[in-house]
Amino acid sequence: MKLIVGLGNPGRQYERTRHNLGFMVVDLLAARWSIGMTVEGSGSFGRGRVAGQTVGLLKPMTFMNRSGQAVLEVVQFYKLETADLLVVFDDLDLPVGRVRVRAKGSAGGHKGLGDIINRLGSEDIARVRIGIGRPAGDDAVDYVLSPFGPQEREPIEAAVRVAAQAAECWLTEGPDAAMNRYNSSPDAKTEPQ
């Protein structure tokens, strides 16, 4: 089984905030692939068949800084390797709407990814990063927990679609293909459906 994890925070007050982009991508994939999600253990989880293989979708319900708890539960239960895992999340260091795929690396300051890396004991985890830009001041916490401004909504909605396509490419063709296709241009557009 391959596992796609979208990071975010549970609760209605966080639904449309910058920090919940991972949840938005998983919700889009669940709808696209007709995978029902139910709360199991520390996360909202669903399984289905996509392109001839079993795929799991996970949204940790433990709040961002403890995302690794839900991921570890699923990884251990299904006996997954880190190569079977893709994490989707927001990134302060990318411009708003930019999508980047990496096969591995450090958490880069992202607390949710950092907790996953710590609990799994490996940085060899593929990820799709969606840019939210960095705020002008120093208060990143308020910024990531705030909703998108009107001028950001369109590029963010497009980025969520691109990130979902990058996740599907990772699933069907592997991380190298996803990086080659979705990192090639800062203005990479969605592919035809």
* Alpha carbon distances (Å) from 46 to 27, 96, 138, 141: 11, 29, 37, 30
Pick from 154, 110, 155, 153: which is nearest to 128 by CA? Answer: 110
Burial class (CB within 10 angstroms; exposed 0-12, middle 13-18, buried 19+) of 147: middle
Active site residues: 19
Report how far residue 139's alpha carbon sits from residue 148's, in angstroms, rounded to the nearest whole number: 16
**149-154 contacts: CB < 8 A, separation 24 or more?**
152/96, 152/97
User: What sign for the dihedral angle of Cα 159, 161, 164, 169?
Assistant: negative
- In angstroms and rounded to an integer, the radius of gyration of the C-alpha atoms of the chain is 15
Tokens for 131, please give them.
Answer: 């840019």
Report how far residue 12's alpha carbon sits from residue 94's, in angstroms, rounded to the nearest whole number: 26
Q: Angle 150-173/21-33 helices, nearest 10 degrees?
A: 60
